[in-house]
Chain A
Amino acid sequence: MEIQVIGGAANKIAVAMVPFKAAPGQPGPALTQIAGDDLDRSGQFRLVDVGGMPQPAESAQINYGAWRSKGADAMVVGQVAALPGGRFEIRFRLLDVLKQTQLAGYSYTISAAQWRATAHQIANIVYERLTGIPGAFGSRIAYVQKQGKSFELRVADADGQNPRTVVRSVEPLISPMFSPDGTRLAYVSFEDKKPIVYVQSLQDGARRKLAAFKGSNSAPAWSPDGRRLAVVLTRDEASQIYLINADGNGLVRLTQGGNIDTEPVFSPDGQTVYFTSDRGGSAQIYRVAASGGEPKRVTFNGSYNVSPAISPDGRHLAYIGREGGRFSVVLHEVASGQTRVLTDTVRDESPSFAPNGQAVLYATVEGGRGILGTVSLDGKTRARLSEPGVDAREPAWGP
């Protein structure tokens, strides 16, 4: 997938990703390319042009003055060595160009299959050492790809690469969500001519129906401890939110009434469920205690605010708001109620936060096809993850 960074923060950290000394037979693309794309996409870094510069592999070989004059605040150097059995040793160092000191240094012995994961790990180390925030580049995303009449539920790296199909169906698939430990996916499949909620192991592909009650079953959301899920059922009346244990037992109804209550999501502490409801006459976001009780309205601006996601620290909601016929990603600070529109596209859907809370993944439409994008919390950096000729939708960011 390609990355298009549209803007960025004013004070970006300038980092030089010096291509590592290569080993024969190493996989591509270069580790510094993959890790550099990760950092670029975050919006917090500016990649220093390394063209025409010497390419040291060890700190002793570095001419810091030359890199300083290129504007670099930090730099990454390293080397790859081929080992017997198709394995590789990666050694890399992160250096402070101003202080001329090492900030981090690691070596890994990996198989070729771990190449991209190692690059994301390098990006995580650089990101955390320079921003103080853990990186999320090693995390995964799930999404649905439509190709012709076929629907595929896919799991990919957070940069959109390395996609693997975990469900293929001629009927629609929607609403995937990773379990908190990342080992399972809950999703909705229409293969039985109606929406049914499945839970599937990513380890062995085994799956079972979690909710297949009379009527429609949809919108699964894991509790933070992974022991139960919120689901939307219509078995009693219009779409209502229920809680169900991950083994399919212990069904209890959480919301009451004849209106639409859907798109539940647990707060990180598991105490609150945010959801979309039309109980006030228009689609708005509400919250209710996970133990039940009277819901309270959360959004008040506009006539259509849907698909809430909550940040890992519980401080922000991201949702889709409609204004003047445009559907955009809105960031909402829970404490103050202040909102900010993060995107300038018009058909955004299904936002979810990165595991480190620093970006929002969402779906939108561009040129008539569905694409996936990320946006930083300041809205200044938007990246596009898209593959030509496919229709991608329903993204969910996982651990």
Chain B
Amino acid sequence: MNKIFWPVLLALTLSACGTTGGTQATVEDRTGGKTGAAGAGQAGGSGKAAGTETVALGGAGVAGSSLDGSGSYAGDPRKNPASPLSTRSIFFDYDSFVVKDEYRPVLEAHAGYLLSKRDARVILQGNADERGSREYNLALGQKRAEAVRKALAVLGVGEAQLEAVSFGEEKPRNEASTEEAYAENRRTDVVYADE
């Protein structure tokens, strides 16, 4: 597992070095339907934003308010739906603990936020699908949480800001016994302690 994981960490490290000041100028969200956009404290970004014009202000220390009109984004960059910080779930392949490359921007964004706010803490909650032993699945979920924790640590986030825990198969997001449900349940959730 380490052999596979290290290149990913290396890639994360290198790209982290490539950014400065905790900004995520190179961030591009390729995780799903969400549009690509800038990270915290960086207006503009990839230019792929489709129909959403948001400016994340919190990370830059500038007081501001939401421009998205929904009222749900009140200046906290973690709540900005256009920011990779709003991506809180890292999904894994079957029997795998490797953080896929597509999550690099998400992890960079969270690392950037945590580096800019040293009193912020995240709990990384690993999960597994329902097949097999509950305790073994707890350990599998832990491995997934641990993989995300290590990736954030490599990006410079302090140990005291991170805790990796596991829910195993006990708190499925999708309770069905289908391949689709299993895929949804193989994940690590990034949960901020103050949220």
- A239 close to B134 (CB less than 8 A): no
Chain A 182-239 interface residues, beta-carbon cutoff 8 Å to B:
190, 193-195, 214-216, 218-219, 232, 234, 237-239
Q: Is A316 an interface residue (CB 8 A)?
A: no
- The residue in chain B whose Cβ has the minimal distance to the Cβ of A144 is B134
- Contact (A172, B123) CB under 8 Å given A218-B138, A238-B146, A263-B136: no
- A215 close to B138 (CB less than 8 A): no
For the side of the interface on A, what is the size category?
20 to 34
- Contact (A215, B132) CB under 8 Å given A193-B123, A194-B165, A258-B2: no
- B135 close to A219 (CB less than 8 A): yes
Which of the residues A214, A232, A350 comes within 8 Å of B133, measured between beta carbons? A350
B-contact 0/1 string along A43-73, CB 8 Å cutoff: 0000000000000000000000000000000
Chain B residues near A306 (CB-CB < 8 A)? 132-133, 135-136
Q: Is A299 an interface residue (CB 8 A)?
A: no
**Minimum distance in angstroms from B161 CB to a CB of chain A:** 12
- B146 close to A237 (CB less than 8 A): yes
Chain A residues near B171 (CB-CB < 8 A)? 172, 190
Q: Is A95 an interface residue (CB 8 A)?
A: no
- A307 close to B165 (CB less than 8 A): no
**Minimum distance in angstroms from B122 CB to a CB of chain A:** 13
- A262 close to B135 (CB less than 8 A): yes
A237 to B132, CA, bound (A): 23
**Minimum distance in angstroms from A384 CB to a CB of chain B:** 21
11 sampled A-B residue pairs with Cβ under 8 A: A194-B123, A194-B125, A195-B138, A216-B166, A219-B138, A237-B146, A238-B142, A258-B2, A320-B132, A349-B134, A350-B133
Given contacts A215-B164, A307-B135, A320-B132, 7 further A-B contacts (CB under 8 A): A172-B171, A174-B134, A215-B163, A239-B142, A260-B143, A276-B136, A307-B136
By a beta-carbon cutoff of 8 Å, the part of chain B in contact with chain A is 2, 123, 125, 131-136, 138-140, 142-143, 146, 163-168, 170-171
